[in-house]
Structure 1
Amino acid sequence: MSNEERNLNEQEAELNEQMQQRLEKLKALQSEGKDPFDVYKVNVTHSSKQVKDSFESLQEAEVTVAGRIMSKRGQGKVVFSDVHDKEGKIQLFIKIDNVGEDKLKEFKSLNIGDIVTATGSVFKTRTGEISVRVMKFELISKSLRPLPEKFHGLKDPDLRYRHREVDVIMNPEVKDTFIKRTAIIKYIREFLDNKGFMEVETPILSPIAGGAAARPFITHHNALDIDMYLRIATELYLKRLIVAGFEKVYDLGKNFRNEGIDIRHNPEFTMIELYEAYADYNDMMEITENMVAYVCEKVLGTTRVTYQGTEIDFKPPWRRVTMVDAVKEYAGVDFNEIKDDEEARKIAKEKNLEFKKELQYVTKGEVLNELFEEYAEEKMIQPTFIYDYPVEISPLTKKKRGNEEFTERFEGFIFGRELCNAYSELNDPVVQRERFMQQAKERELGDDEAYVIDEDFLHALEIGMPPTGGLGIGIDRLIMLLTDSYSIRDVILFPTMKPSQSK
C-alpha cells in the first residue's frame, strides 16, 4: 500500500469516527426529547447584516438570529461563537451568568457545522465587535458530517463542484459569485424590459434540433413514440414569434449540447436570445455593448473589470473589425486578393488548417473562418465585434449589402473568447430553404453538427417575417468575465459531473 493510499484510509477512518460521535450525540439528544430535527419553524427577527448595519438603533435591543456554527472559542464561563447566515456572520457571546451552567455546557458540546438559533441583546465587545449577548439558544439542525478542516479548506475541484453546498459554506467568495450571478441576470432582464422587450418561454423538448450547429441530446416520448431533442437554441421559435407580430422578444434559459466539457463549455448552459423586428446587426451591436455596460454598472459600479489579471473595459463603443481585416492583421492573408476556392485551399494547406471534411470540398469562406479562429480569435482581448462572416458558415443570416460573399453577422469576443453571436436575420423563405439544403449536403460530407431543415420554421417565413435583428449571448461566459472566474464550472451551481465512485 502506498503512502497516499494509507493517508486516504486514515482520513476515511477518522471521518467515520467523527460521524459516529456526532450520531451518538444526536441519539442522546433525541432520547432526552431534544430532537433538533423536530424543529419546524424559527422566528428569526434579524440577519447578521441587519444587526451590524442597524447597531446604533439596536444596541441592547433583543434580537433573534440563526445560522451555522463556524467557530467556537473560549473556556470556563464564557464561549464566543461565529454563526454564519445568508448575509455574513455574527458573533454570539454565551456566558454562564446569562444562560446557566447546563446550557453553557450544552453549547460547548455543539459541533462546528451545527445550526442554531439564538436570542439576546445586541452589544459591542471590548475589541469593538458587534455581537449578540445570548440569553437563550436552541440547536435546530445537527451536522452529522464534519465540514472540511478550515486551514486546508475545500480545494479539490471535483469535490467543490460535486458538493457545491460545502463549497459555498467554506468559501465566501464562491457564495459571492452566485449572488452576483443572480444580480447579473436580474439586470439583463431589467435592461431589456425597459426597452420594451417581452420575455417568453419556448419549448425545451422539440421534434428536431434546430437553430444552431451543435450535437443534441436525444430522448424518447413514449406516448407519441417519437424521438425528441433537448433544445440547442431558441432561435427558430423566437423568429416564429416575430412573424406572429410580437416585434421584441427574448428567452433567457437553459440550452443543452451533447459536446465536450472544458473551461468554456458545459453540456447544460444558460443563454439569452433576443429578436427585434425592423432592426439589423448594427442595432444588435448597440444593444450588446449597452446592455453589458449597464449590467456592469449595476452589479459592480464600474465598466472596468479585472479578468485573470487583465483589465477589461466594457464601456461602449466596442471595437469593430471585419473578419477579413482581422485575418489580414493577425494571419497575414488578405482575402480581398483571394480569387476563388482553389486559391484559398492552397493557403489552407500551407497553414496546415484542419477541417471536418476533405480539403477538396472546403470553400473560400470556410478557410477565412478557420484562419480567424486559428490566428486572430485569441488576440481579441478587449471587447471586439468581428463582423461580416462568410455566407457558407451563416445559413440563417442575410447577405451583406453590396457583397454577397459575406453576411451581416457578428460575434463578440472578449479575452480571446466568443461571448455572443448576432445577425441581420434571413427572412427570405426561398433562400432559407436553399441554405438548409446546402446544410444537408454538409451533413453528407461529414459535418454532423450542420443545421437541419425545419419545415415549421419555413412555413412561418412563408407567412412573412419583417426585417429583424437577432442576438444570442452566453450568460455563463458573461458571468465568468464579471466575477473573474477561470472556468464555466465556477459560475454554474451544479455543473455536469461524472457519477461519484464513492460508496
Structure 2
Amino acid sequence: MDRHDILTKRSHTLAAIRNFFYERGYLEMETPVALRFPGQEPYLNPVPVVLTDDTGKTYNFHLRTSPEYAMKKLLGEGFTKIFNLGPCFRDRESFGGTHEPQFTMLEWYSTNMDYRRLMDEVDDLLKVAAEPWGRMFALPSQRFSMHGLFLKQAGIDLDTWQKIPTIEYESRFFDVFLNKIEPTLPPGPAIVYDYPVQLGALARRRVDNPNYVERFELYIDGLEMANAFGELLDVQEQRARFTEDQANRTARGEMPFPFDEEFLQALPRIPEPTSGIALGVDRLIMSLAQTRRIEDVITYPH
C-alpha cells in the first residue's frame, strides 16, 4: 500500500469515526491545546511553551498531552456525550516507530455509561473504523483481567502486592507486565481490565473490590491503542492521587505541576457512572495499514 492510499484511507477513517459519534448523539468539542495546568501523570512529559501578549508580557503554558481535563470540565457543565479528535503532544518520546512527539488522539466520554458498556462501544467503533480499509477485526475483543493475566503468565497473585510502596510497585509491575504479560497477548483486539489501585490514575475503585480500579486498555496485535476509565468523581481521592503523583515526579528529579482546581471542582457535578477513553488514532491506522511504523501513516513525521 503506497503513501497516497494510506493517507486517503486515513481521511476516510477520520470521517467514519466522526459519523459514528454523531449518529450516537455525541457532540464534538474543541478544547485548548496550550494549557496553564498540564496533566498530572508522573511519567508523561508535556512540551513547555511561552506565549507573549501585545504588551510583551509572557505566559507559561504546556501543550496538552490529552484533552481529558477540559473534557471533564465540560461534563461538569452538563454535557453528557462528547468527543474530541485532534493533536496532542508529548516530550521525550522516540521519533518514529510507535511514537511521535505530535500525534492524533480521540477521546470520548459518556455519562450514564459504565466501563463494561464502554468496552462494547469500543468494539463497535473498531468495526466502523476498519470499513474504509476493507478489513474486519476479530470481534468481540478478547478480554482479560489484569489479576488473571499476572496469575496465569507470571504466577503472581497481585492481591499479595498491596503493601508495596507505590513507586516500587510501579517499577515491579511494569517489569513483569512488559516482559511476561504484554508479549503473550493474542492477535487482534484484546482488552485488559481492572488495574491495581496503585495504577488508578483517574479511574474509580471497583465497588466490590477497592484494591482494583475500573480501568482498561485496548491492544491490537499486542500494541497498546487506548486507555479507559470508569471515571473517578471523588474530589478528595483524586486530589490525594494527584499529590502522590507529584511526589513521585519530585522523587525522580522532575518538576511537579500545580493542580487544575477547576477540574477538581467539576468532578462532583458529573453524574455517576461516567466513563471515558483515549485512543491513539495513528496507532489504529497503523494496525489497519498493517505497519509498525507510525511515520508510514502521518503526513510529515518529525
Q: TM-score, normalised by structure 1?
A: 0.56
Aligned to 1:267: 101
Of 160, 173, 184, 2:13 maps to 184
The alignment partner of 1:373 has SS state of helix
CA gap 1:475/1:451 in 2 versus in 1, 3 angstroms: farther
CA distance in 2 between counterparts of 1:274 and 1:211 reads 19
Deviations 1:63-109 (A, max 9, x none): xxxxxxxxxxxxxxxxxxxxxxxxxxxxxxxxxxxxxxxxxxxxxxx
Aligned to 1:414: 220
Aligned to 2:118: 284
Deviations 1:25-59 (A, max 9, x none): xxxxxxxxxxxxxxxxxxxxxxxxxxxxxxxxxxx
Deviations 1:122-144 (A, max 9, x none): xxxxxxxxxxxxxxxxxxxxxxx
CA distance in 2 between counterparts of 1:299 and 1:484 reads 14
Aligned to 1:22: none
The alignment partner of 2:210 has SS state of strand
Structure 1 position 316, deviation (Å): 2.5
State whether structure 2 residue 122 is matched by structure 1 residue 317: no
State whether structure 2 residue 83 is matched by structure 1 residue 250: yes
Aligned to 1:227: 60
CA distance in 2 between counterparts of 1:452 and 1:378 reads 37
Of 203, 214, 223, 2:32 maps to 203
The alignment partner of 1:190 has SS state of helix
Structure 1 position 202, deviation (Å): 0.3
Aligned to 1:217: 47
CA gap 1:339/1:251 in 2 versus in 1, 3 angstroms: closer
Deviations 1:143-177 (A, max 9, x none): xxxxxxxxxxxxxxxxxxxxxxxxxxxxx711101
Report 1 or 2 for greater relative contact order, CA contacts < 8 Å, sequence distance ≥ 6: 2
Deviations 1:316-347 (A, max 9, x none): 211111111112222222324x25435xxxxx
CA gap 1:483/1:340 in 2 versus in 1, 3 angstroms: closer
Contact 1:323 1:372 in 2 (8 A): no
Aligned to 2:248: 442
The alignment partner of 1:400 has SS state of coil
Structure 1 position 447, deviation (Å): 6.8
State whether structure 2 residue 153 is matched by structure 1 residue 330: yes
Equivalent residue letter for 1:222: T
CA gap 1:448/1:379 in 2 versus in 1, 3 angstroms: farther
Percent of residue pairs bearing the same amino acid type: 31
Of 123, 129, 145, 1:295 maps to 129
Aligned to 1:389: 195
Kindly report the root-mean-square deviation, in angstroms, between the aligned alpha carbons of the 2 structures.
2.0
Structure 1 position 395, deviation (Å): 2.2
CA distance in 1 between counterparts of 2:77 and 2:2 reads 45
Contact 1:439 1:452 in 2 (8 A): no
CA distance in 1 between counterparts of 2:15 and 2:231 reads 27
Structure 1 position 408, deviation (Å): 0.2
Of 155, 163, 170, 1:341 maps to 163
Contact 1:480 1:491 in 2 (8 A): yes
Equivalent residue letter for 1:175: H
Equivalent residue letter for 1:317: P
Equivalent residue letter for 1:372: F
CA distance in 1 between counterparts of 2:253 and 2:237 reads 21
State whether structure 2 residue 231 is matched by structure 1 residue 425: yes
Contact 2:205 2:214 in 1 (8 A): yes
**1:100-115 equivalent positions in 2, closer than 5 A:** none
Structure 1 position 370, deviation (Å): 3.6
CA gap 1:327/1:494 in 2 versus in 1, 3 angstroms: same
Structure 1 position 494, deviation (Å): 0.4
CA gap 1:392/1:334 in 2 versus in 1, 3 angstroms: closer
Which runs of no fewer than 5 residues in structure 2 stay unpaired? Answer: none
The alignment partner of 2:20 has SS state of helix
Equivalent residue letter for 1:239: K
Structure 1 position 486, deviation (Å): 2.5
Equivalent residue letter for 1:286: D
Contact 1:199 1:250 in 2 (8 A): yes
State whether structure 2 residue 69 is matched by structure 1 residue 236: yes
Structure 1 position 233, deviation (Å): 0.5
CA distance in 1 between counterparts of 2:166 and 2:178 reads 19
**1:53-202 equivalent positions in 2, closer than 5 A:** 173-202=2-31
Q: TM-score, normalised by structure 2?
A: 0.91
The alignment partner of 1:486 has SS state of coil
CA distance in 2 between counterparts of 1:374 and 1:275 reads 32
Larger Rg: 1
Equivalent residue letter for 1:332: G
Contact 2:250 2:256 in 1 (8 A): no
